[in-house]
Amino acid sequence: MDAISSTQNKRVRYVKSLQSKARLRRQARKLVLEGDRLIADALASGGKPELALYSLENADFEVIARLQNTRCMLLPVTHDVLSFASDTQQPPGIVAVFAIPKPPIPQPSERVLILDAVREPGNLGTIMRTAAAAGVELAILAPGCVDPYNSKVLRASMGAHFRLPVVEAAWPEITSFCQDLAVYASSADSNTDYAAVDWRRGWALILGNEARGISRKAFSLAQEVISIPMSESSESLNVASAAAVLLFEARRQRRRSSSA
């Protein structure tokens, strides 16, 4: 098959539209992954590919073969077409459309992360990657969060979407879901040390907006506000860094308890 050389090709424009239009992604329940590693990780986690555009010169043909085994539509394209469809300045050798994953939600969920209007895509993706690594069972995105299927979020999360259940919910739904959990909110204004919390029981942790912190609705849900002690010369941590500190302390306590 000759490589597609026109950016007006309907499938090329479909990929481009999914990259740029959150409403279309939600309506179609599709997302776009770029690069061999992300696509391979998605396939290993049971992701369902629909369409892939790839470069005859730069694609990893082991990944192409794996996509072919799933009956994914594979279309070779020129470098210019791949650049058009990609959301990066230096496009990888392949971009692929996958169904938005829906990992099963554990019932009951005992390790829940709630993100309150986290707006920066890199932060959200990094937090999701960290949460998956730390054993979080469910991530809930409260109103105001950036689209979790944004291309920058997908790149920063490094495949976490396929391992960590992610749901978007309003505060009344979140409140109802957390009724049997100890709910903590992280704020630099608290005097309660995060390491003093008993993370061995079921919990939900709320992390707030990069600039404004925790919202009033989040504060009203939290049973306790905790903080990460820092040197006097520092005011706060980046929300993604704070997530790593808090979630891995929770994991440390749980592992220590299970090995005792």
CATH 3.40.1280.10 for domain 111-259, yes or no, is yes
pTM: 0.93
Annotate 150-172 with b (16+ C-beta within 10 A) or e (fewer): bbbbbbbbbbbbbbbbbeeeebe
Per-position pLDDT tens, the chain of length 260: 789 999 999 999 999 999 999 999 999 999 999 999 999 999 999 999 999 999 988 889 899 999 999 999 999 999 999 999 999 888 899 999 999 998 889 889 999 999 999 999 999 999 999 999 999 999 999 999 999 999 999 999 999 999 999 999 999 999 999 999 999 999 988 889 999 999 999 999 999 998 899 999 999 999 999 999 988 777 778 999 999 999 999 999 999 887 65
Annotate 182-207 with b (16+ C-beta within 10 A) or e (fewer): bbbbbbeebeeebeebebeeebbbbb
CA 130 to chain centre: 9
Domain spans in the chain, listed from the N-terminal domain onward: 10-99, 111-259
Strand partners, 227: 193
φ, ψ at 191 (rounded to 5°):
-105, 5
φ, ψ at 58 (rounded to 5°):
-115, -10
> In CATH, what number does 10-99 get?
3.30.1330.30
